[in-house]
Amino acid sequence: MAQHAAPAYRIYQGETILGVVWSNAVVNMTSSWRVVYDDGDTETLILDRFTTGSARAAQLISTAQVARKDGYVTVGQTFADGAQRGQTYVVMYISQGYNPGDVRAPIAKGYVYASVPLALGQQVEPGPAGGHGYRTPRTTTNPAAGAEVLQAVPTGAMWRLITCSVQLVQGLTQTPLPSLRIRDSLGFVIAQIPIMTTALAASTKVLSKRPLWLLLRTSNIRLPFPC
């Protein structure tokens, strides 16, 4: 008697399995999927070993194998050797061909990284809705007097600013800032943090704020500094 999986994972003769992957790091990927045909025969569709780019551009992982008969995809996994969660995201499909318009049914989507494969049936939205993604600290250089701290969000990236800590150096004659403003690249203020105590002349203050939870897409964020 043939083994049947959920109808959502039905695969028909001539169809294949392929994946679309986005990665901000170069990682190696492999993928294999077991098909049980209606007559009880089984077969494993193995996707070619694939090395991603690091530009967050969509890339295709595929196999030359196709289903020989009608059946069901019953189990499968996609592996990657990335170091961090959030660096590599993949969507696996049952597809009638190798073009974007040929995909028929998503069978798994989520993050893949070392020792954490993506299995059949997993459906994880990309961060921040699908989790914390890849957490990384960023340290900027000390700007010139009167300049701003600039942190660029890479093309195609989506960041969430959780905390910030800045050192404010007050000069002898400049008017102290009443608050620290965080602006995007268009100059719009996306957060304003009040300075609770006045910065005295020729003094240094460290301002830290958490949590912020600001969602940032491809853009720049600017932190103004007093002289």
Residue 40 has a pLDDT of: 93
Tens digit of each residue's pLDDT (9 = 90 or more) over 35-45? 999 999 999 99
Q: What is the CATH number of domain 7-119?
A: 2.60.60
Counting residues of the chain whose pLDDT is more than 70, the rounded percentage is: 70
Would you place residue 75 in the very low, low, confident or very high pLDDT band (cuts 50, 70, 90)? very high
Q: Hey, is 209 helix, strand or coil? A: strand
Neighbours of 173 (CB within 10 A): 8
Mean pLDDT, rounded, for 90-95: 95
Q: Which carries the bigger pLDDT value, residue 142 or residue 95?
A: 95
Amino acid letter for position 80: A
Cβ-in-10-Å burial (0-12, 13-18, 19+) of 198 comes to exposed
CA distance 167 to 190: 20
Let me know the angle formed at the C-alpha of 120 by 114 and 123, rounded to the nearest 5 degrees: 85
Give me the phi and psi of 159, to 5 degrees please.
-110, 150
Range of weakest confidence among 10-19, 28-37, 182-191: 182-191
Closest CA to 137 of 176, 101, 165, 173: 165
**pLDDT at residue 4 tops 60:** no
76 close to 108: Cβ distance less than 8 angstroms: yes
Domain boundaries, the chain: 7-119, 148-224
Reported as half-sphere exposure (CB side, CA atoms, 13 A), residue 129 has a value of 5
Residue 127 DSSP code = T
165 close to 206: Cβ distance less than 8 angstroms: yes
**pLDDT at residue 139 tops 50:** yes
Share in percent of the chain as helix, strand, coil (round to 5): 5, 45, 50
Counting residues of the chain whose pLDDT is more than 90, the rounded percentage is: 37
Fold of 148-224: Immunoglobulin-like (2.60.40)
pTM metric for this prediction? 0.65
